[in-house]
Amino acid sequence: MAISFSATAKAEICRVFPQKRCCALAQCFGILLFCNSFSADGIRIITESREFAQNLPKLFKKAFSVSFDVLPETETSGKLIFQITDREKITQIMAAYGFNPADTLALNVNLAVVEEECCKASFLRGAFLSGGSVTDPVKGYHIEITTTHSAVARQTYALMEEILGFYPKTAVRVGAQVLYLKQSEQIADLLTYLGAPVAAMGIMEARLEKELNNKVNRRCNCDDANTSKVVEAAQEQLAAIRIIRERGLTENLPQKLQQALIARENNPEASLTELAAMMEPPITKPAMNHRLKKLVELSKEAV
Ligand SMILES: [Zn+2]
């Protein structure tokens, strides 16, 4: 199976393991608020990223000294599922963020946890690792994070603006809130911020390549259009010349038009510039164009 762009970006982000406990707590906060399920009934984190799966137990150990109750089988391919079902562990984790499992209030981003700059980055890293994805830039520009908690979506929206200087776009998808970006530069900025500069460069390279291809295509189309216009015009002129010849009108033409007629007749593929240079004395391109147009008009009058 080909490794997705998303998986590569996540692997890159996972190389940065939080050194400080504050950052481990913040990263776990992002993971929990953007994971499959985080409630008093249990914690369930589902991922396809091997690197993230490797880091998860270490992260939870560092943040809460807590281990998972259900770990994925090591040989499993595809989705990896981590669970905590033990009530005491859940209470302990919730308490670390100031939540009470008995409290029915909706979960939100406890701003004290993401106060430091280092922790803000860790939080978003966690959010992306557990609830995010980025599309291969060859297919399109899209990065998103998804949470089931609407307060969390609102707060993360503001947090992203504070950190990156621009707001993400928002959407609702079957009970989940989606924050996403569509602009290549913004996606690259976010990836760089998350600690994936190589993936960010991948986005910018894909964009450059697309721009280059577009430019080449535009130029080709333009050349084709010009070429066919020139050919069409020359054919119209040659047809006009045939009519003028058939009607025996050549003799009565002014000297200048006779010259133009002969030049075109003998050089069916010459450009206007080339024909203009053949005139005696040489004339400008617009003047040459004017003479040929005159020939076409005369042929139409003669019909
Ligand atoms: Zn920190």
The model's confidence at residue 185, banded by pLDDT at 50, 70 and 90, is very high
* Mean pLDDT, the chain, whole residue set: 91
Are residues 64 and 164 located together in one domain of the fold? yes
SS (H, E, C) 86-108: CHHHHHHHHHHCCCCCCCCCCCC
Q: What separation in Å is there between the alpha carbon of 42 and the centre of ligand 1?
A: 26
How far apart, in whole angstroms, are the C-alpha atoms of residue 22 and residue 2? 36
The answer to whether residue 203 is domain-embedded is no
Residues 238 and 291 in one domain: yes
Is 205 inside a domain boundary? no
Give the model's confidence band at 105: pLDDT under 50 very low, under 70 low, under 90 confident, else very high.
low
271, 168: one domain: no
In a domain, 171, yes or no: yes
pLDDT attached to residue 213: 84
- At 104, the pLDDT band (50, 70, 90 cuts) reads low
| pLDDT tens string 244-294 | 988 888 888 999 999 999 999 988 888 888 899 999 888 989 999 999 999
Residues forming a β-bridge with 170:
179
Which one-letter amino acid corresponds to residue 237?
Q
Same domain as 218, residue 106: no
The partner residues of 132 in beta bridges, in order of sequence, read 145
Structural domain contains residue 146: yes
Residue 88 lies in a domain: yes
Task: Give the Cα separation of 282 and 274 in Å (integer).
Answer: 10
Residue that finishes a domain, picked among 134, 166, 195:
195
Return the percentage of the chain with pLDDT > 90, whole number: 71
Ligand 1 center from residue 258 Cα (angstroms): 87
Residues 20 and 80 in one domain: yes
Residue 230's pLDDT is 79
Residue 129 near residue 52, CB atoms below 8 Å: yes
24 alpha carbon – ligand 1 mean position (Å): 7
Is residue 173 located within the same domain as residue 219?
no
> Do 63 and 140 have their domain in common?
yes
Ligand 1 centre distance from Cα of residue 121 (Å) = 8
Using the mean position of ligand 1's atoms as its centre, give its distance from the Cα of residue 22 in Å. Answer: 4
Q: Are residues 179 and 222 in the same domain?
A: no
Assign residue 20 the CATH number of its domain: 3.10.28.10
Question: Binning pLDDT at 50, 70 and 90, where does residue 1 land?
Answer: low
Residues 100, 42 share a domain: yes
* Structural domain count of the chain: 2
Q: Where does residue 59 rank: exposed (0-12), middle (13-18), buried (19+ CB within 10 A)? A: buried
Q: Are strands 42-47 and 80-84 parallel, antiparallel or unpaired?
A: antiparallel
Comparing C-alpha atoms, which of 244, 230, 239, 247 is closest to residue 289? 230
Residues 3-33 pLDDT 10s: 899 999 999 999 989 999 999 999 999 999 9
- Distance between Cα 202 and ligand 1 center (Å): 28
∠ at Cα 221 (216, 222), nearest 5°?
A: 95
Q: pLDDT at residue 139 above 60?
A: yes
Mean pLDDT of 109-127: 94
Question: 201-254: per-residue pLDDT in tens?
Answer: 999 999 998 888 888 777 777 666 677 777 888 889 999 999 998 888 888 899
Distance 132 CA to ligand 1 centre (A): 21
Distance 18 CA to ligand 1 centre (A): 8
Position 155 pLDDT exceeds 70? yes
**Structural domain of 267:** 213-302
Asked whether residue 206 is assigned to any structural domain, the reply reads: no
**What's the N-to-C CA distance of the chain in angstroms?**
71
Q: Is residue 201 part of a domain?
A: no
| Residue 208 resides in a domain | no
Q: Do 64 and 167 fall into the same domain?
A: yes
pLDDT of residue 239: 92
User: Among 165, 195, 225, where does a domain finish?
Assistant: 195
* Whole-number Å distance between alpha carbons of 205 and 72: 36
State mean pLDDT over 52-77.
91
What contacts 49, CB < 8 A, 6 or more positions away?
7, 10, 11, 14, 129
Q: Are 34 and 144 in contact (CB under 8 A)?
A: no
Q: How far is the CA of 64 from the centre of ligand 1 (A)?
A: 15
- Assess whether 24 and 146 both reside in one domain: yes
Q: Are residue 71 and residue 190 in the same domain, yes or no? A: yes
